[in-house]
Amino acid sequence: MKVEKTREGYFKLVASYKKEAGGWAWIIHRISGIVLTAYLYVHIYALSTLTKGKEAFDAEMALFQKPLFKFLEWLLFAFVLAHTLNGIRIVLVDFGKGAYYQKKAFAYLMIIGIIAFLVMGYFIFSHEINQMFAGLI
């Protein structure tokens, strides 16, 4: 079968598809998957500092406790959630009867994801939030 080259190019072609839940889930899953794999490399590299002793590791951890990195960590969790929750949906579709309720499943799982994202925001920034409200009480 000869694949014809599109005049618009790949990305415009994908963008032109009518997207329902599954289409969005497919794109989100791919983007988050690439981000998470790239992060995994960074994560393994960063943790290899453990072998260089306590001082080197503590200095690195102190860097990761800075607000910018905390925010990035929180953002990373959004990708983790999107990928994990949609992964559950994929497993249900492939191994279970998910095909019958995959659109609903996508909606519910994304709502769970948003709630979990906000809850994690509290856990990551709990010191800052507590400090903010400490002055009010």
Buried b (16+ CB within 10 A) or exposed e, 104-128: ebbeebbeebeebbeebbeeebeee
**CA quadruple 88, 90, 96, 102: dihedral sign:** positive
Residue 126 binding other proteins, by CB under 8 A? yes
* Residues 28-87 close enough to bind other proteins by CB under 8 A: 30, 33-34, 36-37, 40-41, 44-45, 47-48, 50-51, 54, 57-58, 61, 64-65, 70, 77, 80, 84, 87
Q: What is the nearest approach in angstroms of other proteins to the Cβ of residue 38?
A: 9
Burial of 33 (0-12, 13-18, 19+ CB in 10 A): middle
Q: What is the nearest approach in angstroms of other proteins to the Cβ of residue 58?
A: 6
Residue 46: half-sphere exposure toward Cβ, Cα within 13 Å: 13
Residues that bind other proteins (CB under 8 A): 1, 3, 10, 30, 33-34, 36-37, 40-41, 44-45, 47-48, 50-51, 54, 57-58, 61, 64-65, 70, 77, 80, 84, 87-88, 90-91, 94-95, 120, 123-124, 126-127
